[in-house]
Amino acid sequence: MLATTMFSLVLMTAPVQYRNASTLTGIDVLVQQGFKPLMGKRVGLITNHTGLDRQGRRNIDVMIDGGVKLTALFAPEHGFAGTEDRSGLGDMVDSKTGIKIFSLYGKTNRPTPEMLKELDALVFDIADVGVRFYTYETTMAFGMEEAARAKIPYFVLDRPNPVTGTRVEGPLLEEGNTSFAGYHAGTPARHGMTMGELAQMFNKERKINADLTVIAMKDWRRTDWFDSTGLAWINPSPNMRSLKAAILYPGVCLIEFAPNISVGRGTDSPFEQFGGDFLKGRELSAFLNARILPGVRFYPTSFTPTESRFKDKWIEGVRIEITDREKVESVRIGIEVACAIETLYPGKVDWKRSERLIGSDDTVRRIIAGQNAVAIMKSFEGPLQGFMQVRAKYLIYR
């Protein structure tokens, strides 16, 4: 049997005491401030369906009711309502206010000078899941870049990292693998930062030099899971349907670009299971359980996706159950799964297709070469220490 090793970096040493917080997000704090930073300005807002205050009211309505002159709206991947799972989204109009919504996941991924020419400030307010390849982070960064070019202030209304702000895991993004699904080279798969903290890091480390203001949360601690905040869970994207899925996502999604693997899209539990037409559920789950990964167990399963890869086709796979979320090493799960598949079914998967999500060509080469997952995880330790030193400069919360 293999000894359990901790490969991620965690910022806590004492046992976690779960609490019932009354977290106020950036929009709630802005209400308390009487919207003073935005008064007298023509404001653009990058947001979607997750932009709610603690009472469940849309940030759009709260701003307008508070006297903010909201002039333009911008929507990220999945659209303004968060229901679209396709590219090429067009502009639309908010039916309640009549304000135009510019798509940032269609002809352009960033606000254009034409969109910004009549604005005095740009605001970002979208919930994230704390993972490098979730595209809302890139949308935030692109908005900040364009605000800097337009010489208008940029405000980020902060929200919780739902999977806590304590754990940092996985390979760092290499410069050659940056994309819309990975903005800043040197960022690990699971970074343990909030959007406001990321904004500060991007602004300084990439020398964007935006006039950035982060409206920080109140009553949020780094050790808080989302279900400790007192906030309602809103699916941030169509397939991110639970906190459990968000915990597993940093690892399971690493294998999604493999062309013959499903990560459960089109089922009732995306990112909590994976499968393929060549996988044997019992064999693979037994192999993974023998690895003794902390905080999880693996079970054979089968499913028939109603959409996405393997649509309407029955396939075997593995379901992941969390036994102790404080011990889960999310990224290690993905690396262990990839290594297990390469060991049991050598050559069946083109892992090079996953380079953009994994972010590291070296890691992909190690998987293809059949290297043990433990050795691969150890290769991250030095780079992660370097990232932690950079990250520490931008942390807002304890």
Q: Is residue 6 part of a domain?
A: no
Per-residue pLDDT tens for 198-225?
999 999 999 999 999 999 999 999 999 9
Q: What is the domain range of residue 42? A: 26-235
Per-residue pLDDT tens for 121-148?
999 999 999 999 999 999 999 999 999 9
Residue 136 and residue 70 share a domain = yes
Report which of 97, 78, 100, 98 is spatially closest to residue 89, judged by C-alpha positions: 78
Residue 255 and residue 122 share a domain = no
Q: φ and ψ at 316, to 5 degrees?
A: -90, 160
Per-residue pLDDT tens for 63-115?
999 999 999 999 999 999 999 999 999 999 999 999 999 999 999 999 999 99
Per-residue pLDDT tens for 270-281?
999 999 999 999
Residue 175 and residue 69 share a domain = yes
Q: φ and ψ at 204, to 5 degrees?
A: -85, -50
Question: What is the pTM for the complete model shown?
Answer: 0.95
Beta strands 154-157 and 121-125, pairing class = parallel
d(CA 187, CA 177): 11
Q: Is residue 381 part of a domain?
A: no
Residue 131 and residue 103 share a domain = yes
Instruction: Kindly list the strands in the beta sheet with 167-172, ordered across the sheet, starting from the edge strand earlier in the chain.
Output: 9-10, 167-172, 188-190
Q: Is residue 346 part of a domain?
A: yes
Residue 198 and residue 225 share a domain = yes
- Decide: 276 and 301 in contact? Cβ < 8 Å: no
Percentage of the chain beyond pLDDT 70 is: 96
Residue 211 and residue 104 share a domain = yes
Instruction: Report the CATH number at residue 55.
Output: 3.40.50.12170
Q: Is residue 10 part of a domain?
A: no
pLDDT at residue 4, as a whole number: 38
